[in-house]
Structure 1
Amino acid sequence: MELAASILYSFGVLSFLLCIYFFLGYRSQKREWKQKVKQWFPEEERKSFISKWGDRFDENESSEKLRNKLHNANLKLLPSEFLGILIVGFLMLFVLFYSMFGMPFGLSVALPLLLLVVSNYLLFYFRKNSYELRFNDQLSDVCRILGNAARSGLTINQGIDIVAREVSAPAGKEFKRISNELKLGVNLETAFRAVQQRNKSRDFNLFIATLLIQKKTGGNLALTLDTMANTFEDRKVLNQIIKTMTSEQKYISFIVPALPIFLLLVMNNVIDGFITPLWSGFGLVILVIFLAAIILSFFLIRKITNIKV
């Protein structure tokens, strides 16, 4: 009986030691795999509490609308980074107005807020189609590559795969997504319609319609793509000429509203109380007319120089 108890006790101790040995070996192997994964897929860890707040805000559903606006404006910023820039800009403008221009505290707070709201609106207004414009500028190269692929005897799917590898962002990124969807079994029309929901430009709609019609009816796809590439290139050259000819007027549209405001602030810094009469009854009327004239002149100049092809 004592012999059996001794054997069981020895077996239990041996099992316990083996468990500890295998457990330590497992932890060592796990640590090695973690190091290998960090080497293969390095990640930048943001350790400050501000960065953690930013990550939490970026993962929130409330930032999705701002993320889409930044994407359409072709601004490679996270929503938290964009808000951080706005906060820093407000603090800089507050110090500028309150310390350098000697404006009252309330006005030094209200005016930067107004300027940031207006700047935010104008930024997304003028860049609302920036992503589409960059995408359209690359359509001629996409047509050339697809035309050469068709001329070499490759299919449309193989040509799209080449475009995904050769063309840079943003077109390369979109065609890479299309290529991955095609490899997963999605048909060509469905993949193109998904991209069309994100990019509703006229040129891309023409490109999609041409490819789908050629696939259904047949014909010389290479010649059609070359013709379309020439059309896109001619349009790109014409848009660049128009942009060059109207660049001076576009800069004037920013200088004309900013110059009177800057001079008003400088005079207020030189002459103490220079803008005080603007807060009286008649002064408020003049101030409203002044601001309305500045805004009207800005939009009129931008409207005249906005020539669409």
Structure 2
Amino acid sequence: MTWQFLAILGGLAIVLALALWALWEFVASAETRRLIAERSALAQAEYEASTLSARLDLAIHRTQWGARLYRRINRSGAQVRLSTFVVALVGGSLLAVIVVWQVLAPVLGLLAAGGVAFLFFSYLNRAEAKRREEFTAQLPDVARVLGNATSAGLALPTAVSMAAEELDGPAGEELGRMAESMKVGASFEEAVSELRERMPSRELGVLLSTLVVASRSGGSLVTALRNISSTLENRKETRREVRTILSETTSTVWALGFMSVGALFMINAIEPGILRTMTTSPSGVAVLLVVAALYTVGFLLVARITKFDL
């Protein structure tokens, strides 16, 4: 029991330290924002680069998984720093381990840490998918604006800049990044490749392929963009109908997952200590692992079945 008590104290100390660090960062940043409100943009950038959060961002970004996570956060459009996401993930996992370890059983505490990580990355996946869907829904407007701009005699880079100013996010933001890439020397094909990597979708691929072919060989770009605009509008309506039909199934799966976790706490409340007793025997642990595996397989199967690509 001594080592368990020390482990719990160590976990609580880490969680408390993370909470105090977050509070200190919030208070310090609020005061500093007031002081640098009238300073130049360069001075503000220098300050932001010298903060503890910025240094932690840089340290995490230097790792391979950190750079990949940073790209995913950018693609999701979440207004959260890389260090904040990682600290929240680690702190939440530790807190889940401590709570579930004490309330239910040590083995379930370890599973709870995996569950917290799963929820964090599920949120990131859903944010990425949502932003990608919003961007895809704006593609008819993108094609329409680009078609109007090119029909007025504007070059493609200029048309992209104009579309970035007229459209809301995320299409306006992504086209703005594309325009900025071309301003700093990237070719049109390179900027298109970067946009396709950030927002992978079949509709965007068709639109960008048309733009690349037109930039290389010319042709009736205006007519092509208008035809693409009407086609993308029809595909958007079809995707909306399919998503509405499947939304009930996906919501039911998530509800069943949360209900299963709540059932564990309910069983332990009815018969205190039953799960701790159950996890002391190999057969009890095996039963819990089998149940968790079945829930996981069911969740993955339903996610696979309800996934559609129009």
Band of TM-score, shorter chain: 0.7 to 0.9
Summarize deviations over 1:107-130 as a string: whole Å, max 9, x none: 474243122233244344555545
Verify the 8 A CA contact 1:256 1:298 in the aligned structure 2: no
Shift in Å, 1:308: 1.9
Verify the 8 A CA contact 1:143 1:228 in the aligned structure 2: yes
Structure 2: which amino acid aligns with 1:290?
V
Verify the 8 A CA contact 1:164 1:176 in the aligned structure 2: yes
TM-score (norm 2): 0.74
Counterpart position of 2:58: 59
Counterpart position of 1:288: 289
Counterpart position of 2:21: none
Verify the 8 A CA contact 1:69 1:124 in the aligned structure 2: yes
Counterpart position of 2:110: 110
Structure 1: which amino acid aligns with 2:227?
T
C-alpha distance 141-91 of structure 1, shift in aligned 2 (>3 A): same
Structure 2: which amino acid aligns with 1:212?
V
Distance 1:178 1:210 in 2: 16
Shift in Å, 1:82: 0.7
Structure 2: which amino acid aligns with 1:175?
L
C-alpha distance 109-36 of structure 1, shift in aligned 2 (>3 A): closer
Percentage of pairs with the same residue: 23
Distance 1:281 1:225 in 2: 64
C-alpha distance 69-251 of structure 1, shift in aligned 2 (>3 A): same
Question: Any unmatched runs of 5+ in structure 1?
Answer: 1-33
RMSD after superposition = 3.2
C-alpha distance 164-209 of structure 1, shift in aligned 2 (>3 A): same
Structure 2: which amino acid aligns with 1:307?
F
Aligned residues: 270
Structure 2: which amino acid aligns with 1:210?
T
Shift in Å, 1:40: 6.7
Query: Which structure's CA Rg is the greater one?
Result: 1
Summarize deviations over 1:258-306 as a string: whole Å, max 9, x none: 3233112212122122222343233233222211221122122222222
Shift in Å, 1:95: 6.2
Summarize deviations over 1:141-189 as a string: whole Å, max 9, x none: 1111111112333332321121121123333233223334444565433
Once the two structures are overlaid, the 10-residue window that deviates more, 139-148 or 260-269, is: 260-269
Summarize deviations over 1:230-272 as a string: whole Å, max 9, x none: 1212112111111111111101111223323311221212212
Verify the 8 A CA contact 1:278 1:286 in the aligned structure 2: no
Counterpart position of 1:119: 119
C-alpha distance 196-300 of structure 1, shift in aligned 2 (>3 A): closer
Distance 1:261 1:38 in 2: 51
C-alpha distance 38-303 of structure 1, shift in aligned 2 (>3 A): same
Counterpart position of 1:299: 300
Once the two structures are overlaid, the 10-residue window that deviates more, 228-237 or 70-79, is: 70-79
The answer to whether structure 1 residue 274 and structure 2 residue 277 are counterparts is no
Distance 2:36 2:279 in 1: 66
Distance 1:95 1:206 in 2: 50
Summarize deviations over 1:84-105 as a string: whole Å, max 9, x none: 3224433553565366xx334x
SS at 2:274 equivalent:
coil
